[in-house]
Structure 1
Amino acid sequence: MASLEQCESSYQPKSMSRAKQWTDEVEDLYRFQQAGYRDEQEYRRVKQVMLIERWPETGYVKKLQRRDNTFYYYNRKRECEDKEVHKVKVYAY
């Protein structure tokens, strides 16, 4: 059986880079990072949720609960503007 320390380390990213151009993945990361999480994986682990509300038309995240238990509501269209793309962190596990 793996120790708690080993399990926790498997959640830690091995590397991080910055997004260079907008993609659907960058849009999702932008939304999770606005709400205070690295990515969807960390959000699911911290909030213990299986289902994340998404817009059916675009597949983008619709609503996220922040760490202080307030909510962020997102539009169905792109929110990460070109000038914000370089701020998005892309993690590799």
Structure 2
Amino acid sequence: MACVSRVDGNAKPKSMSRAKQWTGEVENLYRFQQAGYRDELEYKQVKQVERIDRWPETGFVKKLQRRDNTFYYYNRKRECDDRDVHKVKVYTY
């Protein structure tokens, strides 16, 4: 899995690959992409937020605001099924 380094606020991805197996990182990417964002970096850029609500037990994203200002609420457990893992895009900066 590619390591995502946080460069500057307007970083554009250099490359994209598909997830091959489920990890905690893939789970969170799945949640961001479901809400209409590339990843955490793009979400923070668009929504101008410092902190993202996460479940303390797992570190998974708890709540995201979509671009139309409605919210997605996520469970503390895994939501990305094995059949959806290959749909998750992993960006490298």
TM-score over 0.5 for the pair: yes
Q: Identity of aligned pairs, percent?
A: 79
Matched residues in 1 for 2:11 and 2:43: separation?
Answer: 11
Matched residues in 1 for 2:12 and 2:50: separation?
Answer: 20
Structure 1: segments with no counterpart, 5+ residues: 1-6
User: How far is 1:23 from its partner?
Assistant: 0.3
Structure ranking higher in helix proportion: 1
- The equivalent of 2:74 in structure 1 is 74
Extract structure 1 runs of 4+ deviating beyond 3 A: none
Question: Which protein, 1 or 2, shows the higher relative CO under an 8 Å CA cutoff with sep ≥ 6?
Answer: 2
- The equivalent of 1:59 in structure 2 is 59
- The equivalent of 1:3 in structure 2 is none
5 Å-filtered alignment, 1:78-93, equals 78-93=78-93
SS in 2 for 1:64: strand
Letter in 1 for 2:20: K
Matched residues in 2 for 1:17 and 1:89: separation?
Answer: 6
User: How far is 1:55 from its partner?
Assistant: 0.4
- TM-score, normalised with respect to structure 2: 0.89
- TM-score, normalised with respect to structure 1: 0.89
Matched residues in 1 for 2:19 and 2:51: separation?
Answer: 26
User: How far is 1:27 from its partner?
Assistant: 0.2
- The equivalent of 2:5 in structure 1 is none
